[in-house]
Amino acid sequence: MPTPHYGQPRYRAIADELRERIKSGAIPPGAFLPAESVLTAEFKVSRGTIRQAISALRKDGLVATEHGRGTYANAQFHAQSSHHRANPRTRQREVSADEGLAELFDVEVGAPLIEQESVVRIGKRVATVTREYRLGPASS
């Protein structure tokens, strides 16, 4: 009998649980989370649900995932003013609309937008950088 989702969806509950483990230090920065297969066993949900939960954490910048390797907790505090590059392959932040974006979105210059930046590396070299813009939350 699949899928009653009264109240809170399971993927969100799982995301909360994992977030807690990271913030509490049970999963220290840099350490890998259990594999998806392990998490499905632990929480007794399907893999898709686990992936949904992890996806939420990734969007929050809490974790990063690498194909064939795993998902690990990010060191997210003390982010800037350091001399060496961590590896944020994707990053979300709020920016002000430049002239071009303002015109496209039909907002004023300087209006808040959400920028999602992702970096594609080939080997160590950066191949492409993609910045995707959406309207900020303060818009209907």
Which positions lie near its own copies, rule CB under 8 A?
37, 42, 55, 100-101, 104-106, 117, 119, 126-134
With a CB cutoff of 8 Å and minimum separation 6, the contacts of 115 are 92, 93, 94, 95, 131, 132, 133
67 binding DNA? (CB under 7 A): yes
89 binding DNA? (CB under 7 A): no
Q: Which of 18, 27, 49, 73 is close enough to bind DNA by CB under 7 A?
A: 49
Is residue 43 within 8 Å of residue 6, measured between CB atoms?
A: no
| Nearest to its own copies of 40, 76 (CB atom) | 40
Of 7-15, 22-30, 81-89, 96-104, the window that binds DNA (rule: CB under 7 A) is 7-15
Distance CA(100)–CA(5), nearest Å, equals 43
- Tell me the closest approach of the beta carbon of residue 131 to its own copies, in angstroms: 5
Judged by the rule CB under 7 A, the positions of this chain that interact with DNA are 1-6, 9-12, 33, 35-38, 40, 44-49, 51-52, 54, 65-71
